Amino acid sequence: MFNAILLTKNDAGATCAQVAQLTDAQLPADGDGTVLVRVDYSTLNYKDGLAITGQAPVVRAWPMVPGIDGAGEVVASSHPDWQAGDAFILNGWGVGESHWGCLAQRAKLKGDWLIRRPADMSARTAMAIGTAGYTAMLCAMALEEQGVDKNAGEILVTGASGGVGSVAIAILSGWGYRVVASTGKLAEAAYLTALGASEVIDRAALSAAGKPMQKERWAGVVDSVGSHTLANAVAQTRYGGVVTACGLAQGLDFPASVAPFILRGVKLIGIDSVMAPRARREAAWRRLASELDAGKLATITHEIPLADAIAKAAQLLAGNLHGRLVVDVNA
């Protein structure tokens, strides 16, 4: 028997979340290439919050164990790349949505979904980073690959107090960029400055409808918010600048104009972490292992036991938390 958060629907169609005891026999199998893993740590992401609370229809099969992230060791494997004792990281691939996830002590996963955990990275550290931090690295790599030099100008990070934003600030400031953090929590300016932000601005300056072309400021943008915030960030991006979009905390809409793209040559780069190919994932995690400041990551990270993830999910969606939540599934 092992513990897991189990999501079910009641007669009214509402999502019910509870810590339940399950057996290996209840875990869904995928035939050849299935890997049985022991999960040591998971984490709580925005999508996990939506799944646990039922605030958005992200769960596609019922019942469901949420948890899009996991780190631990392989117990048994029918996949040629994985053997018992191998250390793994899992991010995305629809886990926690259409396939039982890692807010549990054990899981069965496809071997093709897993990557090897860097030798100098613990399972806890991997989950302190999680999908949010891995996505932040993908955004930072995209800015770098698109030629945004650290001397080109300021980098805007929206949703700065969240997981993606916090790690993005730590990464980019560590690389020598001047980072401006946009947040609705100005009381946390000291926290964001400690991560490396050179300036903290109120998200209200970006979150309302704005002109399609505005005063140029940003050489690059990491946006996890979407909607008007993303549209205004694009409208304020300098000639030839690059905007990376990876989230939708404000909304799925993009009420913008083509003007910045055709008059300023602004590039809008979509960042997908869920289905990213293995080579891209491995490159991101190698850089996270060597280039993310451990002290800053510790500042970002809060640890909770498995049962607390249910209550914390609602707080996460309400914007009442900052940084990263690591879930000790064995506590």
Domains and CATH numbers, the chain: 2-117+297-328 (3.90.180.10), 131-270 (3.40.50.720)
Q: Which pLDDT band holds residue 259 (cuts at 50, 70, 90)?
A: very high
Q: Which pLDDT band holds residue 320 (cuts at 50, 70, 90)?
A: confident
Q: Is the pLDDT of residue 75 over 80?
A: yes
Nearest to 244 by CA among 108, 139, 152, 149: 139
In this structure, the strands spanning 154-157 and 34-43 are unpaired
Q: Which two tokens stand for residue 122?
A: 């613990």
Query: Residue 249 has what DSSP assignment?
Result: S
pLDDT tens track for 157-188: 999 998 999 999 999 999 999 999 999 988 88
Residue 116 CA to residue 90 CA, distance in Å, equals 9
Query: What's residue 185's pLDDT?
Result: 85
Across the chain, mean pLDDT equals 95
Residue 174 CA to residue 318 CA, distance in Å, equals 30
> What H or E segment, with its residue span, contains residue 4?
strand 2-9
In this structure, the strands spanning 115-116 and 87-91 are antiparallel
Q: Is the pLDDT of residue 28 over 90?
A: no
Q: Which pLDDT band holds residue 47 (cuts at 50, 70, 90)?
A: very high
Dihedral sign from CA coordinates of 135, 93, 3, 61: positive
Nearest to 67 by CA among 136, 147, 131: 131
Using DSSP's 3-state secondary structure scheme, residue 71 falls into: strand
Least confident piece of the model among 9-13, 174-178, 195-199: 9-13
Q: Which pLDDT band holds residue 323 (cuts at 50, 70, 90)?
A: confident
95 DSSP β-pair partners: 99
Query: Residue 147 has what DSSP assignment?
Result: T
Look up tokens 């938390």; give the residue. Answer: 321
Q: Which two tokens stand for residue 204?
A: 């209200």
Q: Is the pLDDT of residue 137 over 90?
A: yes
Helix 123-145 and helix 278-291, axial crossing angle in degrees, nearest 10: 110
Q: Which pLDDT band holds residue 286 (cuts at 50, 70, 90)?
A: very high
- What integer is the mean pLDDT of 6-12? 93
**161 vs 30, higher pLDDT:** 161
User: Residues 67, 104: contact at Cβ < 8 Å?
Assistant: yes
Burial 128-151 (b: 16+ CB within 10 A, else e): bbbbbbbbbbbbbbbbbeeebebe
Q: Which pLDDT band holds residue 59 (cuts at 50, 70, 90)?
A: very high
- What integer is the mean pLDDT of 268-296? 95
Torsion angles phi and psi, residue 128, rounded to 5? -65, -35
Q: What length does the chain have?
A: 331
Residue 37 CA to residue 39 CA, distance in Å, equals 6
User: Residues 107, 37: contact at Cβ < 8 Å?
Assistant: yes
Residue 299 CA to residue 77 CA, distance in Å, equals 36
Look up tokens 């958060």; give the residue. Answer: 5
User: Residues 158, 221: contact at Cβ < 8 Å?
Assistant: yes
User: Residues 90, 110: contact at Cβ < 8 Å?
Assistant: no
69 DSSP β-pair partners: 91
Q: Which pLDDT band holds residue 214 (cuts at 50, 70, 90)?
A: very high
